[in-house]
Amino acid sequence: MAAASYLPSEDQFLCSICLDLFTDPVTIPCGHNFCKDCITEHWDRSDRCQCPMCKKEFNARPELHVNTFISEMVAQFRQSAQQKASSSSSSSSEQQVFKPGEVPCDVCTETKLKALKSCLVCLTSYCETHLEPHLTASSLKRHQLIDPVENLEDRMCPKHDKPLELFCKTDQTCACKLCHVSDHKTHDVVPLKEEYEGKKAALGKKEARIQQMIQKRQLKIEEIKHSVDLSKEDADREVAEGVQVFTALKESVERNLNEFIQTIEGKQNMRMKQAEDFIKELEQEISQLKKRGAKVEQLSRSEDHLQLLQGVQSLNIQHPSPTKDWTKVSIPPSSYEGTVKGAVGQLEETFSEVMKKVIEAELKRVQRYAVDVTLDPNTAHPGLILSHDGKHVRDGDVLKNLPDYRERFSDDLCVLGKQSFSSGRFYFEVQVKGKTEWDLGVVRESINRKGEITTSSEDGFWAIWLREGNYYNANADPAVCLYLKSQPQKVGVFVNYEEGLVSFYDVDAAALIYSFTGCYFTEKLYPYFSPGAKYGRKNAAPLIISPVN
């Protein structure tokens, strides 16, 4: 019987997201319960699928099914609560004594009960009992009732002691009907309710704008976080590749050093062995000579004529001693000329191979930022001929009569790309095959285009150029001569706007030609091309913007 009369508390059936009784309650894998719409909306707004209570994270969004048991319990709780409320409302409503923070009834004389409504005409707050006349008497039904408020006298005009029912738009102040006649007769005055609705609508729009601004900033935060994540991935990948390259170089240096030391030590050991052999042979001859010398000395002291003559004959004193002629024997000083140079040369070859692989990998990375560039005819010098698709440009050797647009080059054989770039990274390739003169690069939007122009980086030109078929230059300040191992047939141009980097590549050789670093870009950048003068047929080939493979 006790179990049958048990009524759970409301807290047991509240959703922790909306803080209201469950509607279509669902249970997620960790065991916590939520309204189906609440948890779905929570996961839609979040970048993670996790429980709002215990923060348990799920790899995939769980499939939600309504928990019929909890749903039935909530329905029973609602029904029981309604029955309990209806059975006690008649007796308890009359005894609701006002509490601190609530508005008391102004009519109650002994025990002040809680006010249910305030009348803006009577300027009085009423409990349920004393409110009855305003609900039944026809003369009082026209009074304006609002939710109970304190200090109703503040709603009265201090000058005329009348309700503040109007709003003066001219003076932006509340007024009563007598104020309208006396002080605001010619002003724009509207009912208070009308101004309230207008202001409320304006506040709603402002709130919507604020929410929109908040959402934009939240999206910007996510964008920045995503950029940081991408940057970290790039940094980690670059570090890994750098570690791999430098480890290989370190191992190569150590290997070459060991080989170099072994070569020197080998030569030195060979000379030491040769010297040891000579010394051993000399010591053997010295021993033999000492023995012979001892016999000679012994005979030279003999006074026996026969013994001396016989001894001399046995020593064969008339012939030289059977020993080597050492006058021309020597150990030449060690010769190590070219040993260090050879080792460094071998190391240089290794470095060149590694550098080529690094540049090849770098070129593949920057080619991911390829953009479609076309030539802008409105910027082209009148002597240039552009193809219909905007991919080829050459010197036409004849000036055309074209409108002198502000953006058109007047004296120099130049043309810009239609596309501009003010952030991020971009890359394009240009075929320069068969040409003896050309300029390539990027320029800022505000460059001078009229008359004779100076094409240096200080003037907003970041470019390299070819003259006389084999003289390459980078127009830095001062200019830099470029010494290339081979003549590029196709040149790649890469720009990192934020990093202030402009790099040029020999695409076929996978080699870096030149890089402008530490540039400061504040304007739009445009691709820049100059095919150079034709000089008869010597430089007639066009510059061709090529698709990136």
- For 138-191, the pLDDT digits (tens) are 778 788 788 888 877 777 888 887 778 899 999 999 998 888 888 888 899 898
Q: Which of 453, 478, 476, 475 is nearest to 465 (CA)?
A: 475
Q: What is the per-residue pLDDT for 92?
A: 41
CB of 416 closer than 8 Å to CB of 528? yes
Q: What is the per-residue pLDDT for 6?
A: 47
H helix or E strand, kind and range, residue 270: helix 192-300
Rg (CA), the chain: 51
At 267, is the pLDDT very low, low, confident or very high (cuts 50, 70, 90)? Answer: confident
Question: Which of 82-91, 179-188, 409-418 reaches the highest mean pLDDT?
Answer: 409-418
CA distances from 126 to 114, 120, 121, 155, 303 (A): 8, 12, 13, 17, 168
Selected residue with higher pLDDT from 350 and 206:
206
Rounded Cα distance, 9 and 21, in Å: 11
CA 482, chain centre distance (Å) = 32
Please say if the pLDDT value at position 457 is more than 70.
Answer: yes
Rounded Cα distance, 308 and 292, in Å: 15
At 20, is the pLDDT very low, low, confident or very high (cuts 50, 70, 90)? Answer: confident
Q: What is the per-residue pLDDT for 420?
A: 96
Q: What is the per-residue pLDDT for 230?
A: 85
Rounded Cα distance, 415 and 439, in Å: 10
Residue 292, C-beta contacts closer than 8 angstroms, at least 6 positions apart: 315, 321
Which H, E and C letters describe 420-475, residue by residue?
CECCCEEEEEEECCCCCCEEEEEEECCCCCCCCCCCCHHHCEEEEEEECCCEEEEC
**Interval 470-527: pLDDT, tens:** 999 999 988 999 999 899 999 999 999 999 999 999 999 999 999 999 999 999 999 9
Rounded Cα distance, 29 and 61, in Å: 10
Q: Which of 527, 471, 480, 473 is nearest to 502 (CA)?
A: 527
Question: Which of 31-35, 46-50, 376-380 reaches the highest mean pLDDT?
Answer: 376-380
For all residues of the chain together, what is the average pLDDT? 86
User: What is the number of alpha carbons within 13 Å of residue 190 lying toward its C-beta?
Assistant: 10
CB of 343 closer than 8 Å to CB of 256? yes
> Nearest 5°: CA angle at 342, between 341 and 347?
95
CA distances from 119 to 116, 145, 155, 480, 490 (A): 10, 5, 11, 89, 87
The pTM of this model reads 0.53
Q: Average pLDDT in the 462-467 region? A: 96
